[in-house]
């Protein structure tokens, strides 16, 4: 049983949840703060009223919403990743880099992989039923976006942007789960994810440039070549950083947010400094490590800023 679970976790690259999950938490806690309308934290000697008290009260009565948001993230991403592996099984079998994946290597059968996709889709929609009507109504749209990505490499080099769009649903989706309404700030965070993910997916796709060309698959590296593809990735990451800055200004965030922005931007610069058109040895370091650090550390600073940075201690 443990081996089977491990195989399916490997199939969907569960560790890659580290990219979008932190931004989903940003959307969730941003919604909590908006609902509580807390401008600052007031501390007095005998009477302490903090945002943490209000937040804990909300979570105490609505802890299930956070659990449902996390479950939606897990089910949606598992469905999307498993579907991508199922659809690309023949290409993966031909590519030496991907031939060891679970389906082409026979660790998981095609039938079981597809069944896994269907189960996760059903669980995703069923979970939204317990959140609110708008999440339920939009759940098929979300599934369409994240599943449709798997087809895009067959006809457009813009497939990286479609992947980014799929992951960008995390912050706005979490915000909708709490408030049931749209807001510009979580949309700015969604745009951050869109450009950020698209940019680092181009870096990851550099490894398959020749294979994609030989098999009539579309990607930015296959169409433009490695050097120009890296320039496109840099542009997308500049747009991502611009969205982070715009969110910080629009949301009136404090110094902790801007510290997180510096770390996020630093990780973007770092990954471009270690990946060169003629040297792809550090692609995985850029893809997983740099971007994992960027998302987690940035989210920590954003959440700290939401609930701590505006502390005012009366003299």
SS3 assignment for 188-218: HHHHHHHHHHHHHHHHHHHHHHHHHHHCCCC
Token pair 């995703």: residue = 124
Would 315 be classed as within a structural domain?
no
Domain that holds residue 234: 2-310
| pLDDT higher than threshold 90 for residue 166 | yes
Q: Which residues contact 272 (CB under 8 A, 6 or more apart)?
A: 230, 233, 234, 237, 286
| pLDDT higher than threshold 80 for residue 148 | yes
Report pLDDT for 307: 79
Would 79 be classed as within a structural domain?
yes
Question: What is the average pLDDT across 218-238?
Answer: 97
Question: What is the average pLDDT across 126-130?
Answer: 95
**Per the structure block, which two tokens stand in for 9?**
């976790």
Would 306 be classed as within a structural domain?
yes
Would 227 be classed as within a structural domain?
yes
Report pLDDT for 284: 85
Would 204 be classed as within a structural domain?
yes
Report pLDDT for 62: 66
CATH number at residue 105: 1.10.357.140
Report pLDDT for 120: 96
| pLDDT higher than threshold 50 for residue 133 | yes
Residue-averaged pLDDT of the chain: 88
> At CA 123, angle to CA 57 and CA 132, rounded to 5?
45
Number of domains observed in the structure of the chain:
1
Question: What is the average pLDDT across 75-80?
Answer: 94
* 195 — pLDDT class (breaks 50, 70, 90): very high
pTM here is 0.90
Give just the sign of the alpha carbon dihedral 180, 183, 186, 188.
positive
């Amino acid at each position: 049983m443990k081996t089977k679970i491990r195989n399916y976790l490997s199939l969907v690259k569960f560790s890659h949840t580290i990219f979008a999950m932190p931004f989903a938490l940003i959307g969730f806690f941003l919604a909590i703060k908006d609902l509580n309308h807390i401008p600052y934290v007031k501390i007095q000697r005998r009477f302490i009223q903090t945002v943490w008290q209000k937040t804990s009260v909300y979570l105490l009565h609505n802890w299930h919403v956070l659990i449902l948001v996390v479950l939606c993230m897990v089910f949606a991403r598992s469905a999307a990743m498993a579907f991508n592996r199922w659809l690309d099984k023949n290409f993966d079998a031909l590519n030496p880099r991907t031939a060891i994946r679970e389906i082409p290597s026979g660790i998981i059968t095609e039938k079981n992989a597809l069944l896994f996709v269907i189960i996760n889709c059903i669980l995703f929609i069923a979970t939204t039923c317990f959140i609110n009507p708008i999440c339920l109504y939009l759940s098929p749209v979300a599934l369409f976006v994240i599943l449709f990505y798997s087809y895009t490499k067959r006809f457009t080099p813009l497939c990286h942007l479609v992947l980014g769009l799929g992951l960008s649903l995390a912050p706005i989706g979490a915000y909708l789960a709490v408030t049931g309404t749209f807001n510009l700030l979580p949309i700015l965070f969604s745009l951050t994810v869109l450009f950020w993910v698209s940019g680092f997916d181009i870096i990851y796709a550099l490894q398959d440039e020749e294979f994609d060309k030989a098999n009539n698959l579309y990607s930015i590296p296959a169409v433009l070549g490695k050097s120009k593809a890296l320039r496109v990735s840099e542009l997308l990451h500049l747009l991502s950083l611009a969205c982070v800055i715009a969110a910080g200004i629009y949301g009136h965030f404090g110094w902790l947010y801007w510290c997180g922005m510096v770390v996020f931007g630093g990780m973007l610069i770092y990954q471009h400094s270690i990946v060169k058109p003629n040297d792809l040895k550090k692609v995985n370091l850029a893809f997983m490590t740099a971007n994992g650090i960027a998302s987690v550390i940035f989210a920590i600073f954003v959440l700290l800023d939401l609930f701590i940075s505006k502390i005012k201690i009366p003299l």
